Structure 1
Amino acid sequence: MKKLLFILASVIVLFGSCAKDTVYVDPKSADAGFSFGGTTWSLIASTSVFYFGQDKFDFDLYALMPECSKDDLMTFNKNNTITGSYGNLACANQDNSYTNFGTWKLSTDNKILEISSSAFNVVGTNMLKCDVLALNENNLQIKYQTTANGITTTT
């Protein structure tokens, strides 16, 4: 997980990108009984778009992740804490430093997810305010923007 956070933070610091208008897919649950608290998610994709002048570059962050980080899980507990857990593939320098990853808060309209964690300090913040593009029992898609060293990045 540390490698994932380092790669993500490095990309955020190194590349600037242009933000486009957020297009909300239906953030409301397909199942009226769905509750975000108590759900566990694994990362299956992570991309970033950045621009140099008029040139657009698509960047696949997931492809850069070490295989041992791709099966890690994040649980958004009902008490608004986030617990990370390692998958079956262990990274060489793996420890338990992210079992208490941080906290979360979902807006009442399900359109904004705030994630607070000291892991984000490397990009100059301790909270990501994410636009929820899709949310249901099978799919969570978020988009967020950070600014570090004067560079704004949208992921």
Structure 2
Amino acid sequence: MKISINNPNETERLAEHIGSVAEAGDTIILSGDLGAGKTTLTKGIALGLGITQMIKSPTYTIIREYQTGRLPLYHMDVYRIEASAEDLALDEYFEGDGLSVVEWGQLLGEFLPADYLEITLEKDPADLEKREAVLQASGPKAEAFLKRIQQRLEEVK
């Protein structure tokens, strides 16, 4: 599924809809160049979960947990992991009671969860505000998540 985005506000609104239909144990892998909007997307997802506290990039902490929404949000950034991802016990998050959002998740390789929704943000070289979000499910739980997102987006059209 491809979605055209015109500006950061639209990125956040799309993400809010994604967060509003997330269920415990869902995992989102965020891909895209530096500055593509991965953290902006996560901020919107948090709003959709009812989390109003400030969302910061977990670049140096690797994992930030937010417990104040209808589901916990586990926001991860694995760009800088030098140790083995195995040492981080990420599967405890992926199989847990919240929503896991992993920036640069494709770098996990063999430690990627078996079931996840990948959201790739691609910049428009002609217009720095515009993006294209490509949502692709890998696994049955992610397929169901993608269907809920599609239904939600149809409802708000």
TM-score normalised per structure 1: 0.33
TM-score normalised per structure 2: 0.32
More strand by share: 1
